[in-house]
Amino acid sequence: MSLERLNEKQRRAAMQVEGPLLILAGAGSGKTSTMTERIAYMIEQGIPSYHILAVTFTNKAAGEMRSRVEELVGRCDDMWIMTFHAMCLRMLRYNCEVIGYDHNFVIYDGTDQKTIVKNILKEQGINDKEFSAPYLLSIISDYKEKAVSADEYRDAVEDNYKTKVIYSVFKAYEDELKKNNAMDFDDLLLNTVRLFEQDEAILLRYQRKFQYIMVDEYQDTNHIQYKLIKMLAEGHHNLCVVGDDDQCIYQWRGADIRNILDFEKDFPEAKVIKLEQNYRSVGNILAAAHSVIENNRGRKGKKLWTDREDGDKIKYYRADTEKDEARYVAQEIDLLKGRDKKYSDFAILYRTNAQSRHFEEALTQRDIPYRVLSGLRYYDRKEIKDMMAYMRLVVNPYDDLSLRRVINEPKRGMGDKSVEKIQGFANVRGESLLQALSDEEVLDTLPGKAYSGVKNMVECINLCRDERDNLRVSDIYDNLLVKTGYMKALEDANTVEAEGRIENLMEFKSVIYDYEEQADKPNIEEFMEKITLMAEVDNHDANQDAVVLMTMHSAKGLEFPVVFLPGLEDGLFPGHKAFDSSDKMEEERRLCYVGMTRAKETLILCSASVRTLYGRTEYTRESQFLRELDKRLLDGDAVYVRKTRDSGLGVSTGSFDGFAAKESPKPYDSLRYAKAATKANASAGDEEFAVGDKVRHAKFGEGLIIDQDGKTLTVIFDAAGQKKMAKGIAPLKKL
């Protein structure tokens, strides 16, 4: 077999079989072809396939690699091409008795893990609102990835109430898994390392077996994966790792970029081959991406090049608002579609899922088909559907379907049996579930744990319904979100997924504010009608010719002829947390690089001068990454050019020309502000008032309190006249 299909650098990498090798494979440089050809070359050189181990991160990547190798050299069933977890599982099945497990051990998934931790919390009498199962599991996972046991955790951390609780749960969780002859996914890796540490003979056996090791996406390995590979490779040092330090974008879930940056320290005899020829993108896209990523200090020096033409310059559009940004993107797709393009040639890649809404609406208005990848359409997301269910109950107390959806969201101890029991009461009484639960006699039948949570939920819904004429839609939303415990449950979870859900919930406030601004007489009934109609637009067939919407994290490994990167503003991309440390900023910059290098022919960048995100309107500063990009490669709005527009919107945190005022040292943090504002608005009614107090109402303006009793305030307003309103929910502020 010849290696003629490979370029000179790829051939060198394929033929470099002995000793440690680092292949720095830039975006679109033919990494997969190089790896498969390398394996085939080794087999053709007489290396038995059972001496080869190839490790990937996904089953899909492993399957593709095996298929391509077998196309070249025929069947090789005895060669291990698999994911880290599959490799460890196979090793443990044969040897797990060494670490005290039976061969028939089971693997617990995320649901099983949560159940175990919840049971532990109950047994130990720990408040699950203070220490939620997802929060504790995320800590346990973090320490397992560092190969730290519960006892080692206890010895390493400061002794206080919080660490004692974590240790107690961590230890009980370890014990429960061992008692059940079970492992979680972290255990598969960790226990394989422990197996090798406890029985050197087993490690030597695998070292003799795997004389040639290859690891794909090495920049995404965590500490325990690094340790595992290093142990296996110490036998023969024939370790080939393939990756791109410029595409390390998963540090938030444990990836350690030092693994690839320090490879030559770990293996001083290592050879380094850089695959820099790009087969995907035109020259200007590569040059633009390089002008951004070269600002990272923590990287290996490389520069992608192509023998393709330079292509068009990078387009840049500075929109007035996020709606204008979405309108522009949809318009450009319409224009470019007429030039021999399919809808599936276009991708809109954003930093956060919350950004998708405006693009979905703009595309729908132009009848452009789209699909949201690695996520749901905005109005199909669980948290949005949950809050819409709460709001529907304010409008319609007979909506049993909505109540069933949220009665245990967040967890209130309401199992199926409890719900069915209440349903029975409601049927006998001829009432809806909400009406039945509004009766103290029915509430008293609930389990102790469920009683207070369900009671608070029911009271909140009923109060919002009774007071809906005195409340803005946004007031109702804030109260439902906070007083039902929904937002707190997500905050307590303290996971990346939960943070994403909070972002979407805060962005929903923008939907509400848009409605309140545009409607003649805004009210919750009309709002829910509009949202329902908007949410029920056609679901798009995943196989159809459609524009793709997805996050930049999800886009890694993909490519499209035309790519849009919207939201290039400080505080959004890079996100506000990036300004806290250089490491976080460098990871954001790598994400920008990944996004830019998805484009084959056309790259279009966008930002908005004014953006309403999470319900807050802000003037924005153009992204640091835009400022770093070589301006000679840009076509369109130049960065830092003042635009003389009269916006009439919002409150400025900086100047309107696209860069922050001197007194604004940091980019905004809209999410944190939005959460605080939501909680503050929901608790506004909890303030103590007295007769004679002058107040301002969010809807009716200024007024005077003229009477009060245990539950209500009577206020005479300058413009709206006399109103009775409920304490605890009326959005009043003392003047």
Query: What string of DSSP letters covers 696-708?
Result: EETTTEEEEEEEE
Higher pLDDT: 110 or 389? It is 389
For the cut 80, the answer to whether the pLDDT of residue 417 exceeds it is yes
Mean pLDDT of 410-421: 86
Catalytic, out of 31, 227, 299, 611: 31
Q: ∠ CA 112-113-117 to the nearest 5 degrees?
A: 120
**29 labeled binding residue:** yes
32 is catalytic: yes
Q: Are residues 390 and 511 both part of a single domain?
A: yes
207 is catalytic: no
CATH of the domain at 713: 2.30.30.140
Residue 496 falls inside a structural domain: yes
Q: Residue 541 has what pLDDT? A: 45
pLDDT digits (tens, 9 = 90+) for 489-543: 998 887 878 888 898 898 888 888 888 888 888 888 888 877 765 554 434 344 6
Mean pLDDT of 63-71: 87
Catalytic, out of 184, 186, 217, 570: 217
**652 labeled binding residue:** no
Q: Are residues 372 and 395 both part of a single domain?
A: no
Q: Is beta strand 694-697 parallel, antiparallel or unpaired with respect to 701-708?
A: antiparallel
**338 labeled binding residue:** no
Q: Are residues 598 and 715 both part of a single domain?
A: no
pLDDT tier, 608 (very low <50, low <70, confident <90, very high otherwise): very high
Q: 304 is written with which tokens?
A: 């992608």
For the cut 80, the answer to whether the pLDDT of residue 667 exceeds it is no
Q: Are residues 579 and 623 both part of a single domain?
A: yes
Which contiguous run of DSSP H or E holds residue 438?
none
Q: Are residues 52 and 74 both part of a single domain?
A: yes
Catalytic, out of 32, 211, 251, 708: 32
Q: ∠ CA 680-682-687 to the nearest 5 degrees?
A: 75
Residue 306 falls inside a structural domain: no
Residue 548 falls inside a structural domain: yes
For the cut 90, the answer to whether the pLDDT of residue 63 exceeds it is no
**31 labeled binding residue:** yes
For the cut 50, the answer to whether the pLDDT of residue 354 exceeds it is yes
Q: Residue 574 has what pLDDT? A: 93
pLDDT tier, 73 (very low <50, low <70, confident <90, very high otherwise): confident
Choosing from 180, 210, 228, the residue where a domain stops is 180
User: Side chain identity at 651, as an amino acid letter?
Assistant: V
Q: Residue 532 has what pLDDT? A: 65
Catalytic, out of 145, 184, 216, 332: 216
**692 labeled binding residue:** no
Task: Provide the residue range defining the domain that includes 461.
Answer: 380-535
Q: Residue 693 has what pLDDT? A: 87
Which contiguous run of DSSP H or E holds residue 36?
helix 31-44
CA nearest to 91, candidates 53, 35, 42? 53
**27 labeled binding residue:** yes
Q: Residue 537 has what pLDDT? A: 42
Residue 356 falls inside a structural domain: yes
Please answer whether residues 256 and 145 qualify as being in contact, where contact means their C-beta atoms are separated by less than 8 angstroms.
Answer: no
Q: What percent of the chain has pLDDT over 70?
A: 93
Mean pLDDT of 84-89: 90
Q: Are residues 530 and 397 both part of a single domain?
A: yes
Residue 673 falls inside a structural domain: no
Looking up tokens 């633009």 gives 288
Residue 413 falls inside a structural domain: yes
pLDDT tier, 326 (very low <50, low <70, confident <90, very high otherwise): very high
Widest distance between CA atoms in the chain: 95
In degrees rounded to 5, what are phi and psi of residue 554? -70, -20
**542 labeled binding residue:** no
Residue 293 falls inside a structural domain: no
Q: Are residues 580 and 497 both part of a single domain?
A: no
For 103-112, 294-303, 389-398, 577-586, which range has the lowest pLDDT when averaged over its residues? 103-112
Catalytic, out of 247, 597, 612, 620: 247
Q: Are residues 158 and 204 both part of a single domain?
A: no
- SS3 call for 163: helix
Mean pLDDT of 443-452: 83
Mean pLDDT of 183-204: 93
Q: Residue 657 has what pLDDT? A: 32
**670 labeled binding residue:** no
Q: Residue 654 has what pLDDT? A: 32
Total domains present in the chain: 5
247 is catalytic: yes
Can you name the residues that pair with 128 across neighbouring β-strands? Answer: none
124 is catalytic: no
pLDDT digits (tens, 9 = 90+) for 265-281: 989 999 999 999 999 99
Residue 260 falls inside a structural domain: yes
Catalytic, out of 405, 472, 598, 727: 598
Instruction: Please give the distance of CA 418 from its chain centroid, rounded to a whole number.
Output: 34
pLDDT digits (tens, 9 = 90+) for 564-576: 999 999 999 998 8
CATH of the domain at 58: 3.40.50.300
Q: Are residues 624 and 714 both part of a single domain?
A: no
Choosing from 535, 556, 580, the residue where a domain stops is 535
Looking up tokens 């680092």 gives 22
pLDDT tier, 253 (very low <50, low <70, confident <90, very high otherwise): low
Q: Residue 718 has what pLDDT? A: 85
For the cut 70, the answer to whether the pLDDT of residue 647 exceeds it is no
Q: Residue 547 has what pLDDT? A: 95
Q: What percent of the chain has pLDDT over 90?
A: 42
Higher pLDDT: 671 or 332? It is 332
Q: Are residues 67 and 125 both part of a single domain?
A: no
Choosing from 180, 213, 242, the residue where a domain stops is 180
* CA dist., res. 679 & res. 479, Å (int): 8
For the cut 80, the answer to whether the pLDDT of residue 666 exceeds it is no
